[in-house]
A = this chain, B = another copy of it.
């Protein structure tokens, strides 16, 4: 292929990055405006909703955030009163992080909005095409899973594929 035939705007990694960033930013407008949440905080809250009281390490392993980023997100969320930290019962190193009532209420506020935005995107195409879309994403993940240079998937993202 000649060098000059290369188009950035048709390059898969670039296209993925552009769409992903655009979607994320659109979403941030909502939960930033309503509750002052950043992406990391949003992910932590949602994970807690499903998994109850968990450690920083567990969140890190599940939602694709580096450990320090999780730790800082939890600190901010605790300061806002949306989560609480309890010293580990059996293991003094662990911290059990869980939603407070206020955190639960915040999620009840934001989740419908987030879901509505997601649906505005998914409803723009047919169910068949949407399924193909996710299948393709999964196929690309599978390629990376087999690539020793690629970062491994989190346990939770892997579990997702086995439904």
Name A residues whose Cβ lies closer than 8 Å to a Cβ of B.
1, 3-4, 6-27, 29, 39, 43, 46-47, 49-50, 62-64, 104, 107-108, 111-112, 114-115, 117-118, 120-122, 124-125, 129-130, 132-137, 139-144, 147, 149-151, 153, 156-157, 159-160
Contact = CB atoms under 8 A, between A and B. Distances in A.
Given A3-B49, A26-B147, A115-B1, A16 B8 contact: no
Contacts of A117: 13
A147 B134 CA distance: 23
In the complex, the count of this chain's copies comes to: 2
A52 to B, nearest CB: 11
B141 A11 contact: no
